[in-house]
């Protein structure tokens, strides 16, 4: 054994050899590494420390550079850490800090003793090693056990050791919040050390603490102020500024005090880092101080004019922060910002993009978007999408707040979809559908844009556009009544290249085709009568001559197509559509409108054209009726069922209307009417949280196990009426089941579903947007939730609306259309989360220490001690443990009254002292925040008494600490 | 605080990495690869900050890097640090110290002095906090440690000398 280990150590490869070997090795590196690891596994077991250390060092190297697992070597590292040699100890601790996982490496506890020994070592470098290791590997147990040692180090007379101990404190606080009670006071004392490195370390710790929970550190503001006013160390000043950024929102009076010294630094400093931090502090936290902001903006301008791209970038970043409150600052630098859009540096471009968009408001949105789209066309794909994303985000903000001309915006969306690099399909899809539901006036334009997208077969080849096409298909189906040529849309929806679409979108296509087909048929039925009865036929209509038909007369002005350039007057169209309620959808007016708007282009509907469409549908969807995708199968069968139904009566489908009218309409006509009615039901946006508001009916257990569902369904399956599926109806025709039976059944079903829907609406009306009738009141839409009147939020929306309107240019071509909004915010619903984190424990403890709040002390302590005592091992107990034990708690409770009395007395006492103090040291007190904020670091007497106490026991501390700090 | 320090060469090989928040080793490698992918796409003469790093970093993570010859020096940190100060830390503290310790540092120095790199870094940063910004102080401490090591481990002398000729 001894021989082999000697051999090993003699011929062992050092780390350097390993690295050399790796560099010279040609071929698969991993085979070399695995061979090396095998070697290390052998060597590391050696009893010779040198060999072991060497092996461990190699392994650590492989771990951190080549990602080799070394969790198996944890124990060897611990073993080596007790070595007398500093070199070996360092190797061991480095291995531990780079590889130990505090949450899973269970041997860490074995290191407790060694760490304690090294923390107490007279050699400051050994202490440093231990502190480094402690940072990386400490667990709550380790933190608890070693807190006293670190506490002692906080007073070390070696500066380097002391500042390292201070830095490590943060970790201890995180893992073991009770350490705050022990160490906090001494930490604060170190703020007054003469060595700036030590102060810097303390401030660094407070900066981290304040990030998590600033409120607790407000009482220390005077200390930080002193540093801000006196220090000349840039690192320190930056950190102090960081702290003040966190504190400023909590204490408005801080601003007045701080602005002056910050501006001083900004004027005097030559260090760009400090200057930038001052600028950032001013623009983010003290933006109400105009002179300071002006100074900061001056500085920003200097940054922008530097050659260094870093400074340019940071300057733009600062402008972004300042933009929401002081837009003038951006405007002053407008040219630079626009120029930066074509900078070589991606950072600068992005930042400039943000700024450009911050300048957008309703007057210039059209122009800015035009500029940006031009940039997008020229840019690389990544930045192009960044631009598109930003435009989409900005324009949709607050439910399209800045958009006045929706027709423009909708066509912009269409334009974006055609940009080659566009990958924002999902967002554009959402907005197209959303605008369709919210903005009624935009629907004609939506349909037009949708049509243009649908009929372009090239777009189907680009998977990024598929989502947009899905929206286009949906829009075309849903708002088909604004379409100029439905048959064209059916053809587009069924074109062969749709096979390139994913199945979910294909299903949308088919469903839309269904809607369009229904509309088309319904329209042809309802107009045919007119057309055939009017002797001159379609030609008449084309010239706007009004046939003698009462219904037609009613909508006479609309039918006047002489002035109508292809129905592109959406306003007119819209107005008459609004007059048409859901119930009277069958009203001829819609049809006439459509006809009048399209008559100039579309060919008249003849039986032949219907037949053509039906053929097309059957040819395309026929094969899909057997699709494996349920959605596609179901929907195409629906359409095919309808086609089948019509074919039945096709010869003379349109002509027999006159006689049918006498004995009631044809059954087919009746059905088409019903389906069309069902589709004409208005869809509105639904609040993301509306489902939450549905009360669960009694007797329903939502969490019930569904294991027995199969059995139940199996039973039910027997009773499900078979006529539900249209597929069945196709086959049943051949089985001699009379059509009328079939129809009446379906008719019943559809009326039933209609009535069910209506009933549902009535009952849960508040989850829907108000129906059309209410919306007729232009520009004064009531909140969707009728129950709540005088909603504050809604008033606010109205107010902003008004203010926006008043700002608008006078030559606005048309008023902004109504945008339906939900009253409870349209954002995604985020359930409020309650977080009970460790930070709360730290800050709670800090507050206890700073303010001596007895009540919270005892409660938080009980909570914590429960937790920690369960974990605690019955080892050598420390003083802190004892004091935080449950026994102590009861004692504390008993004493709390007495303590409070003490506290009050001490408060009075200290106030008296303060008065005295103020008279003696006035200039110093000028910086103070007032009595409330006073942190009595001046009270040297108390402090010294505290230090004299020395003992760590908490029982002794808690009543005294308030004296110290209040 | 500083979250990680990396030194990566221009071919994506890590030369030094230290994470101040525990990361499993696979994640470490992934992060390094990701950072390299971001850096290698950046032209020279552009700003040294990267703000949006992608989903594998927490959202407030920022990155400052400096490109020297064949090496990227990378610091990852959160918003309680100042970007320019971090850049200073790389240039005026870390690299300058390396320069002093290795007499105009090059990639080979970094490769072959793995543990010394850690010593230097540990003198500057502890637990994600910057503790020393004076390179003279750092060099002094590093020299002290080297002296300490050579006195306590006399055995290394023999051992080191043998394999070095043996390996040639």
pLDDT-derived band at A714, boundaries 50, 70, 90 = low
Q: What was the pLDDT predicted at A819?
A: 78
Pairwise pLDDT comparison (A169 vs A648), residue with the higher score: A169
Does position A572 have pLDDT exceeding 90, yes or no?
A: no
- Nearest chain A residue to B16 by CA: give it: A65
Q: What is the 3-state secondary structure (H, E, C) of chain B?
A: CEEEEEEEECCCCEEEEEECCCCCHHHHHHHHHHHHHHHHCCCCCCCCEECCCCCCCCCCCEEEEEEECCEEEEEEECCCCCHHHHHHHHHHHHHHHHHHHHCCCCHHHHHHCHHHHHHHHHHHEECCEECCCCHHHHHHHHHHHHHHHHHHCCCHHHHHHHHHHHCC
A392, A369 contact by CB (below 8 A) = no
Mean pLDDT of chain A: 73
Q: At what angle do helices A854-871 and A838-851 cross, to 10 degrees?
A: 140
Q: What was the pLDDT predicted at A696?
A: 78
Provide the sign of the torsion angle of the four alpha carbons A229, A230, A235, A239, taken in this order: negative
Tell me the average pLDDT across A210-226: 90
Question: Residue A301 domain-assigned?
Answer: yes
pLDDT-derived band at A164, boundaries 50, 70, 90 = very high
Contact between chains at B25 and A238 (C-beta distance less than 8 A): no
pLDDT-derived band at A681, boundaries 50, 70, 90 = confident
pLDDT digits (tens, 9 = 90+) for B15-42: 999 999 998 989 999 999 999 998 988 8
pLDDT digits (tens, 9 = 90+) for A872-896: 444 444 444 444 444 444 444 444 4
Tell me the average pLDDT across B117-145: 92
Q: Is B131 on the interface with A (CB under 8 A)?
A: yes
**Greatest CA separation found in chain A?**
119
Degrees to nearest 5, angle at CA A152 with A148 and A158: 150
pLDDT-derived band at A7, boundaries 50, 70, 90 = low
Contact between chains at B159 and A99 (C-beta distance less than 8 A): no
Closest of A120, A87, A114 to residue B148, by C-alpha: A87
pLDDT digits (tens, 9 = 90+) for B102-119: 988 899 999 999 999 999
Contacts of A715 (CB under 8 A, 6+ apart): none
Cα dist. A161→A125, A137, A158, A178, B144 in Å? 8, 19, 5, 23, 14
Q: Out of A76-90, A164-178, B153-167, which region has the weakest mean confidence (pLDDT)?
A: B153-167
| Domain final residue, candidates A335, A358, A381 | A358
Degrees to nearest 5, angle at CA A615 with A612 and A619: 140
Dihedrals φ, ψ of A818, to 5°? -70, 135
Question: Residue A614 domain-assigned?
Answer: no
Does position A12 have pLDDT exceeding 60, yes or no?
A: yes
Q: Nearest CA of chain A to the CA of B80: how many Å?
A: 6
Question: Residue A793 domain-assigned?
Answer: no
Other Cβ atoms within 10 Å of A470 Cβ, number: 24
CATH hierarchy code of domain B2-154: 3.30.450.60
Contacts of A721 (CB under 8 A, 6+ apart): none
Q: Out of A84-93, A891-900, B50-59, which region has the weakest mean confidence (pLDDT)?
A: A891-900
Q: What was the pLDDT predicted at A945?
A: 42
Contact between chains at B50 and A347 (C-beta distance less than 8 A): yes
Tell me the average pLDDT across A702-716: 66
Does position A228 have pLDDT exceeding 60, yes or no?
A: yes
Does position A802 have pLDDT exceeding 70, yes or no?
A: no
The residue assigned the tokens 């009624």 is: A440
Pairwise pLDDT comparison (A378 vs A581), residue with the higher score: A378
Complex-level ipTM: 0.90
Q: What was the pLDDT predicted at A702?
A: 72
Q: Which two tokens stand for residue A538?
A: 């379609």
pLDDT digits (tens, 9 = 90+) for A48-77: 888 999 999 999 999 999 989 998 999 999
Question: Residue A945 domain-assigned?
Answer: yes
Dihedrals φ, ψ of B82, to 5°? -95, 130
Q: What was the pLDDT predicted at A832?
A: 46
Q: Which two tokens stand for residue A946?
A: 């505290």
Provide the sign of the torsion angle of the four alpha carbons A150, A156, A161, A164, taken in this order: positive
Closest of A132, A31, A41, A29 to residue A81, by C-alpha: A132
Range of the domain at A249: 214-358
**Dist. CA A236–CA A223, nearest whole Å:** 13
Pairwise pLDDT comparison (A853 vs A176), residue with the higher score: A176
pLDDT digits (tens, 9 = 90+) for A245-287: 999 988 888 888 899 999 999 999 889 999 999 999 999 889 8
Chain B residues with CB under 8 Å of A82 CB are: none
Does position A849 have pLDDT exceeding 60, yes or no?
A: yes
Q: What was the pLDDT predicted at A6?
A: 56
Contact between chains at B25 and A69 (C-beta distance less than 8 A): yes
Chain A residues with CB under 8 Å of B42 CB are: 346
Dihedrals φ, ψ of A679, to 5°? -75, -20
Q: What was the pLDDT predicted at A242?
A: 93
Does position A320 have pLDDT exceeding 80, yes or no?
A: yes
**Dist. CA A699–CA A957, nearest whole Å:** 57
Tell me the average pLDDT across A830-836: 47
Tell me the average pLDDT across A356-382: 87
pLDDT-derived band at A146, boundaries 50, 70, 90 = very high
- Nearest chain A residue to B83 by CA: give it: A273
Does position A738 have pLDDT exceeding 80, yes or no?
A: no
pLDDT-derived band at A604, boundaries 50, 70, 90 = low
The DSSP line for A53-66 is HHHHHHHHHHHHHH
**Dist. CA A442–CA B55, nearest whole Å:** 37
Chain A residues with CB under 8 Å of B129 CB are: 167, 170, 201, 204-205, 208
- Nearest chain B residue to A199 by CA: give it: B131
Tell me the average pLDDT across A442-471: 90
Q: Is B146 on the interface with A (CB under 8 A)?
A: no
Q: What was the pLDDT predicted at B43?
A: 86
Alpha carbon dihedral A747, A752, A757, A758, in 10-degree steps, equals: 100
Out of A86, A234, A310, whose CB is closest to B87?
A: A310
| Domain final residue, candidates A358, A385, A403 | A358
Mean pLDDT of chain B: 86
Does position A630 have pLDDT exceeding 80, yes or no?
A: yes
A296, A288 contact by CB (below 8 A) = no
pLDDT-derived band at A655, boundaries 50, 70, 90 = low
pLDDT digits (tens, 9 = 90+) for A740-793: 444 444 445 555 556 666 666 566 555 544 444 333 333 333 334 333 333 444
Contact between chains at A346 and B46 (C-beta distance less than 8 A): yes
| Domain final residue, candidates A327, A358, A389 | A358
Chain A residues with CB under 8 Å of B15 CB are: 65
**Dist. CA A524–CA A539, nearest whole Å:** 16
| Beta bridge mates, B77 | B2, B62
**Dist. CA A268–CA A930, nearest whole Å:** 29
Q: What was the pLDDT predicted at A161?
A: 92
Question: Residue A832 domain-assigned?
Answer: no
A672, A521 contact by CB (below 8 A) = yes
Q: Which two tokens stand for residue A560?
A: 């006047």
Chain B residues with CB under 8 Å of A207 CB are: 80
Closest of A678, A805, A813, A444 to residue A435, by C-alpha: A444
Does position A953 have pLDDT exceeding 70, yes or no?
A: no
Does position A554 have pLDDT exceeding 70, yes or no?
A: no
Q: How many domains does chain A have?
A: 2
Other Cβ atoms within 10 Å of A491 Cβ, number: 19
Does position A10 have pLDDT exceeding 80, yes or no?
A: no
The residue assigned the tokens 């830390």 is: B89
pLDDT digits (tens, 9 = 90+) for A535-546: 343 344 444 444
Q: What was the pLDDT predicted at A654?
A: 59
Does position A39 have pLDDT exceeding 50, yes or no?
A: yes
Closest of A30, A86, A103, A108 to residue A62, by C-alpha: A30
Q: Is B11 on the interface with A (CB under 8 A)?
A: no
Q: What was the pLDDT predicted at A550?
A: 39
Closest of A283, A277, A368, A363 to residue A325, by C-alpha: A283
The most confident of A415-424, A546-555, A886-895, by mean pLDDT:
A415-424
Q: Which two tokens stand for residue B12?
A: 């994506």
Q: What is the 3-state secondary structure (H, E, C) of A902-947?
A: HHHHHHHHHHHHHHHHHHHCHHHHCCCCCHHHCCCCCCHHHHHHHH
Q: What was the pLDDT predicted at A172?
A: 92
Q: What was the pLDDT predicted at A961?
A: 30
Out of B80, B129, B155, whose CB is closest to A201?
A: B129
Q: What was the pLDDT predicted at A357?
A: 87
Percent above pLDDT 90 for chain A: 24
Does position A720 have pLDDT exceeding 70, yes or no?
A: no
Query: Alpha carbon A172 to chain centroid distance?
Result: 32
Q: What was the pLDDT predicted at A644?
A: 85
Q: Which two tokens stand for residue A245?
A: 């950024």
The CATH number for A323's domain is 1.25.10.10
**Dist. CA A238–CA A281, nearest whole Å:** 10
Provide the sign of the torsion angle of the four alpha carbons A781, A785, A790, A791, taken in this order: negative
For chain B, the structural domain boundaries read: 2-154
A778, A818 contact by CB (below 8 A) = yes
Tell me the average pLDDT across A800-817: 49
| Beta bridge mates, A95 | none
Tell me the average pLDDT across A15-38: 88
Query: Alpha carbon A106 to chain centroid distance?
Result: 37
Pairwise pLDDT comparison (A842 vs A192), residue with the higher score: A192
- Nearest chain A residue to B41 by CA: give it: A346
Q: Which two tokens stand for residue B98?
A: 């390396």
3-state secondary structure of A836: coil
Q: Nearest CA of chain B to the CA of A231: how many Å?
A: 16
Q: Which two tokens stand for residue A955?
A: 């029982």
Out of A61, A68, A238, whose CB is closest to B85?
A: A238
Q: Is B69 on the interface with A (CB under 8 A)?
A: no
Contacts of A293 (CB under 8 A, 6+ apart): A282, A283, A286, A287, A322, A326, A329
3-state secondary structure of A707: coil
pLDDT-derived band at A518, boundaries 50, 70, 90 = confident
A648, A667 contact by CB (below 8 A) = no
Q: Which two tokens stand for residue A893?
A: 């409770």
Does position A305 have pLDDT exceeding 50, yes or no?
A: yes
Q: Out of A219-233, A341-355, A506-520, A912-926, which region has the weakest mean confidence (pLDDT)?
A: A912-926
pLDDT-derived band at A856, boundaries 50, 70, 90 = very low
Dihedrals φ, ψ of B15, to 5°? -110, -25
Q: What is the 3-state secondary structure (H, E, C) of A709-739?
A: HHHHHHHHHCCCCHHHCHHHHHHHHHCCCCH
Percent above pLDDT 70 for chain A: 64
Question: Residue A865 domain-assigned?
Answer: yes
């Amino acid at each position: 054994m001894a021989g082999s280990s000697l051999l090993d150590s003699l011929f062992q490869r050092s780390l350097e050899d390993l690295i050399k070997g790796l560099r010279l090795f040609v071929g698969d590196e991993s085979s070399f590494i695995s061979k090396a690891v095998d070697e290390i596994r052998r060597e590391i077991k050696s009893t010779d420390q040198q060999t072991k250390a060497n092996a461990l060092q190699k392994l650590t190297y492989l771990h951190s550079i080549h990602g080799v697992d070394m969790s198996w070597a944890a124990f060897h590292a611990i073993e080596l850490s007790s070595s007398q040699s500093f070199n070996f100890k360092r190797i061991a601790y480095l291995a531990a800090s780079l590889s130990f996982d505090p949450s899973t490496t269970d041997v860490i506890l074995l290191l407790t003793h060694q760490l304690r020994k090294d923390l107490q070592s007279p050699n400051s470098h050994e202490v440093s090693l231990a502190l480094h290791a402690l940072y990386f590997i400490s667990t709550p147990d380790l933190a608890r056990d070693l807190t006293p040692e670190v506490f002692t180090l906080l007073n070390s007379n070696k500066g380097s050791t002391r500042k390292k101990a201070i830095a490590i404190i943060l970790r201890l606080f995180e893992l073991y919040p009770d350490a705050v009670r022990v160490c906090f006071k001494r930490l604060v004392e170190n703020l007054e050390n003469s060595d700036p490195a030590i102060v810097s370390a303390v401030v660094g710790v407070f900066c981290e603490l304040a990030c998590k929970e600033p409120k607790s550190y407000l009482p220390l503001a005077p200390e930080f102020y002193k540093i801000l006013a006196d220090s000349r160390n840039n690192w320190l000043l930056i950190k102090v500024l960081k702290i003040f950024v966190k504190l400023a929102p909590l204490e408005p009076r801080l601003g007045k005090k701080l602005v002056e010294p910050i501006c001083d630094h900004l004027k005097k400093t030559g260090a760009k880092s400090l200057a930038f931090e001052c600028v950032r502090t001013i623009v983010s936290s003290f933006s109400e101080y105009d002179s300071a902001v002006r100074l900061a903006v001056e500085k920003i301008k200097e940054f922008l004019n530097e050659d260094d791209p870093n400074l340019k970038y940071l300057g733009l970043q600062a402008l972004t922060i300042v933009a929401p409150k002081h837009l003038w600052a951006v405007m002053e630098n407008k040219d630079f910002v626009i120029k930066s859009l074509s900078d070589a540096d991606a950072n600068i471009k992005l930042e400039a993009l943000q700024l450009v968009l911050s300048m957008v408001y309703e007057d210039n949105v059209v122009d800015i978007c035009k500029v940006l789209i031009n940039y997008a066309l020229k840019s690389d794909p990544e930045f192009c999408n960044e631009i598109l994303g930003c435009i989409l985000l900005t324009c949709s903000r607050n439910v399209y707040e800045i958009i006045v001309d929706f027709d423009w915006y909708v066509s912009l969306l269409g334009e974006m979809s055609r940009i080659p690099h566009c990958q924002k399909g999902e967002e554009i899809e959402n907005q197209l559908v959303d605008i369709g539901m919210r903005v009624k006036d935009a629907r004609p334009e939506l349909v037009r844009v949708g049509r243009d997208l649908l009929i372009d077969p090239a777009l189907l080849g680009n998977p990024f556009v598929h989502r947009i096409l899905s929206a286009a298909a949906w829009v075309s189906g849903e708002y088909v009544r604004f379409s100029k040529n439905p048959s064209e849309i059916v053809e587009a929806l069924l074109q062969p290249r749709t096979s390139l679409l994913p199945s979910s979108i294909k299903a949308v296509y088919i469903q839309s085709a269904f809607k369009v087909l229904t509309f088309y048929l319904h329209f042809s039925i309802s107009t045919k009568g007119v057309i055939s009865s009017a002797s001159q036929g379609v030609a008449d209509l084309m010239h706007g001559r009004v046939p003698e038909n009462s219904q037609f007369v009613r909508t006479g002005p609309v039918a006047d197509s002489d002035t109508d350039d292809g129905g592109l007057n959406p306003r007119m169209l819209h107005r008459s559509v609004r007059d048409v309620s859901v119930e009277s959808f069958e009203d001829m007016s819609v049809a006439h409108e459509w006809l009048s708007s399209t008559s100039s282009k579309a060919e008249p509907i003849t039986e032949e054209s219907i037949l053509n469409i039906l053929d097309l549908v059957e040819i395309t969807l026929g094969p899909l009726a057997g699709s494996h995708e349920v959605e596609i199968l179901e929907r195409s069968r629906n359409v095919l069922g309808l086609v089948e139904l019509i074919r039945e009566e096709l010869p003379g489908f349109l002509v027999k209307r006159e006689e049918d009218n006498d004995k009631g309409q044809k059954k087919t006509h009746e059905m088409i009417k019903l389906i069309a009615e069902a589709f004409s039901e208005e869809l509105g946006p639904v609040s993301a949280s509306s489902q939450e508001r549905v009360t669960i009916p009694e007797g329903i257990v939502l969490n019930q196990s569904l294991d027995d569902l199969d059995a139940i369904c199996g039973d039910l399956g027997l009773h499900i009426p078979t006529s539900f599926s249209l597929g069945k109806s196709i086959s049943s025709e051949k089985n001699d089941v009379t059509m009328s039976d079939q129809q009446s059944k379906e008719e019943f079903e559809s009326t039933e579903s209609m009535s069910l829907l209506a009933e549902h609406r009535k009952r849960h009306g508040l989850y829907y947007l108000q129906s059309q009738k209410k919306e007729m009141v232009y520009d004064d839409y009531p909140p969707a939730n009728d129950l709540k009147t005088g909603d504050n939020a809604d008033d606010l929306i109205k107010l902003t609306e008004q203010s926006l309107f008043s700002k608008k240019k006078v030559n606005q071509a048309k008023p902004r259309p109504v945008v339906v909004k939900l009253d409870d915010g349209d954002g995604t619903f985020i359930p409020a989360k309650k977080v009970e984190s460790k930070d709360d424990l730290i800050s709670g403890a800090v507050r206890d220490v700073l303010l001596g709040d007895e009540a919270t002390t005892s409660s938080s302590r009980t909570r914590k001690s429960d937790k920690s005592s369960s974990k605690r091992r019955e080892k050598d107990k420390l003083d802190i443990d004892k004091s935080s034990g449950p026994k102590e708690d009861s004692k504390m409770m008993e004493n709390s009254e007495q303590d409070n009395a003490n506290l009050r007395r001490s408060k009075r006492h200290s106030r008296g002292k303060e008065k005295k103090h103020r008279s003696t040291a006035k200039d110093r007190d000028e910086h103070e925040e007032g009595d409330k904020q006073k942190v009595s670091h001046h009270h040297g007497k108390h402090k010294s008494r505290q230090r004299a106490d020395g003992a760590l026991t908490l029982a002794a501390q808690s009543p005294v600490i308030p004296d110290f700090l209040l | 605080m500083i979250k990680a320090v990396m030194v990566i060469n221009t071919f994506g090989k890590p030369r030094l990495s230290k994470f101040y928040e525990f990361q499993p080793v696979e994640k470490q490698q992934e992060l390094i690869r990701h950072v390299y992918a971001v850096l290698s796409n950046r032209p020279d003469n552009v700003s040294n900050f990267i703000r949006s790093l992608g989903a594998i970093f927490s959202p407030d993570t920022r990155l400052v890097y400096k490109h020297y010859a064949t090496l990227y020096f990378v610091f990852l940190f959160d918003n309680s640090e100042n970007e320019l100060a971090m850049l200073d830390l790389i240039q005026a503290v870390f690299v300058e110290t390396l320069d002093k310790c290795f007499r105009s540092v090059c990639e080979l120095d970094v490769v072959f002095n793995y543990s010394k790199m850690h010593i230097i870094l540990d003198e500057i940063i502890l637990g994600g906090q910057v503790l020393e910004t004076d390179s003279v102080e750092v060099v002094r401490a590093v020299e002290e440690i080297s002296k300490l090591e050579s006195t306590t481990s006399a055995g290394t002398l023999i051992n080191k000398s043998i394999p070095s000729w043996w390996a040639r």
